[in-house]
Amino acid sequence: MKSGGFGEDLKRADRKRGFFQLIFAVLFNGYAAGFTKGKIFTGKTKAICVPVLNCHSCPGALGACPIGSLQKVLAGSSRVSFYALGFLMLFGVVLGRLVCGFLCPFGWIQDLLHRIPGKKAELPEKIDRPARKLKYAVLLLLVVLLPMAVRDEFGIGTTFFCAWLCPAGTLEAGLPLLAANPELRLMIGGQFYWKLALLIALLLWSVFTYRPFCRYLCPLGAFYGLFNRFSLYQYRFESEKCTGCGACARACQMKIDVTKNVNSAECIRCGRCIAACPEDAISRKKIFSRTETGKTGEER
Amino acid sequence: MDKKQNIIRIAIGAASAGLIAAGLLSGEHLQVLRNAIITCLSCIGIG
């Protein structure tokens, strides 16, 4: 049983995660000169997909967005993607949604906004549960099917998710590039205003509800969520230690019942349930552990 | 259960490594690079 205050443990876990999020946001967007010049980085590292939803048209981006790359390849003449899909599967099987909790800059921004004090709100459960499935529809329709199927007279498809939904693109690429390039500002039209309105709505919503984009719309989170059950990075719940105090459920901002499904596809691996549990019933599972329970499966 | 999971992990890991290798051999990484070094107007919301 833990000896320290649970509130302190939670704060420590949040601070530690915030530090990682800051480091990775800087690491993925380290080309600082791009922001002042209003030009994107053109080095060879851009052939490598980063694990997060980080627009490669962000002036600071050092790598390629996996969702953007997947769509572009599917929308191209080949209609088949090996490379981007391979990266996505590799990140998924190693990290699962740890990527969302610790590495994603857009997730971090939503986290920071949610820290603004005030009344918090959740969608009613009968709306929340089906709404969480929306991200799978976004992945299937906007990222895969529509870019493959809808083509112009030259046979080139549209990257529907990037063009009409991605708020990370508007925030990380659209706003900095438009601020630095007056000629781009002349091209602004209804599509930009739609994306800007969507970004503002999601950022405002983040103040009241924890990570609305990640919960309901993010196709990358949907993809990684499929791997949460199999990923090398996993959580373990020991029911024999659980007293049913509900501390984990109160600490979980993604509103998951950890005691029922510790490796839920919705879990972003923030670690708050581990920090909150007074009985250490939830822990990180050792990689390639041999047993479901017992000391060999423990890391803490 | 864990043994089964480890087999699944290894299979997915091997499949993803195979896909990345296929992407490298087919030159898809160059396509990804080309796409990523050109300012994406649709990402910005103007194209």
Where are chain B's structural domains?
A: 2-44
In chain A, the percentage of residues whose pLDDT exceeds 70 is 93
| CA A261 – CA A215 distance, rounded (Å) | 17
pLDDT of residue A77: 79
pLDDT of residue A289: 56
pLDDT of residue A1: 54
For tokens 């009985």, the residue is A279
Put simply, the answer to whether A177 touches B39 (Cβ < 8 Å) is yes
pLDDT at residue A5 is higher than 70: no
pLDDT of residue B5: 86
| CA A30 – CA A278 distance, rounded (Å) | 39
Put simply, the answer to whether A83 touches B5 (Cβ < 8 Å) is no
Task: Specify the higher pLDDT residue, A244 or A285.
Answer: A244
Are A68 and A52 in contact by the 8 Å Cβ rule? The answer is no
- A86 interfaces chain B, CB cutoff of 8 Å: yes
| CA A227 – CA A92 distance, rounded (Å) | 5
pLDDT tens by residue, A81-113: 999 999 999 999 999 999 999 999 999 999 999
| CA B40 – CA B47 distance, rounded (Å) | 8
pLDDT of residue A55: 95
**A110 belongs to a structural domain:** yes
Residue ranges of A 123-162 with Cβ closer than 8 A to chain B: 158-159, 162
Beta-carbon contacts of A34 under 8 Å, excluding residues fewer than 6 positions away, are: A40, A41, A58, A59, A60, A61
Which of A57, A171, A287, A293 is best to mutate for the B interface (most B CBs within 10 A)?
Answer: A57
Put simply, the answer to whether B43 touches A162 (Cβ < 8 Å) is yes
Nearest to A104 by CA among A159, A66, A132, A74: A66
| CA A82 – CA A163 distance, rounded (Å) | 23
pLDDT tens by residue, A134-147: 999 999 999 999 99
What average pLDDT is seen over chain A?
92
Nearest to B37 by CA among A60, A40, A38: A40
Q: Determine the 3-state secondary structure of A49 from DSSP.
A: strand
Nearest residue on chain B to A231, judged by CA atoms?
B9
**A17 belongs to a structural domain:** yes
Q: What is the mean pLDDT of residues A219-230?
A: 96
Nearest to A96 by CA among A209, A145, A104: A104
For tokens 């857009």, the residue is A106
Tell me the residue range of the domain where A138 lies.
6-225
pLDDT tens by residue, A146-172: 999 998 888 889 999 999 999 999 999
Residue A4, classified by CB atoms within 10 Å of its CB into exposed (0-12), middle (13-18) or buried (19+), is exposed
Provide the pLDDT confidence category of residue A292 given band limits of 50, 70 and 90: very low
**A249 belongs to a structural domain:** no
**A125 belongs to a structural domain:** yes
pLDDT at residue A80 is higher than 90: no
pLDDT of residue A296: 36
Task: Specify the higher pLDDT residue, A222 or A152.
Answer: A222
* Amino acid occupying residue A163: A
Are A209 and A254 in contact by the 8 Å Cβ rule? The answer is no
Q: What is the mean pLDDT of residues A176-189?
A: 93
Are A64 and A47 in contact by the 8 Å Cβ rule? The answer is yes
Residue A188, classified by CB atoms within 10 Å of its CB into exposed (0-12), middle (13-18) or buried (19+), is middle
pLDDT of residue A297: 36
Provide the pLDDT confidence category of residue A115 given band limits of 50, 70 and 90: very high
Please state, in angstroms and as integers, the Cα–Cα distance from residue A55 to each residue in A29, A32, A83, B20, following that order.
Answer: 10, 15, 17, 21
Put simply, the answer to whether A72 touches B26 (Cβ < 8 Å) is no
pLDDT at residue A235 is higher than 80: yes
Q: What is the mean pLDDT of residues B18-47?
A: 92
pLDDT at residue B2 is higher than 90: no
**A233 belongs to a structural domain:** no
Per DSSP, helices labelled H in A118-267 are 125-132, 134-137, 146-149, 160-164, 167-168, 175-180, 182-185, 190-208, 212-216, 219-225, 247-251
Are A166 and B43 in contact by the 8 Å Cβ rule? The answer is yes
- Chain A residues touching residue B36 (CB < 8 angstroms): 46-47, 56, 61, 63-65, 68-69
pLDDT tens by residue, A200-212: 999 999 999 999 9
Are B32 and A84 in contact by the 8 Å Cβ rule? The answer is yes
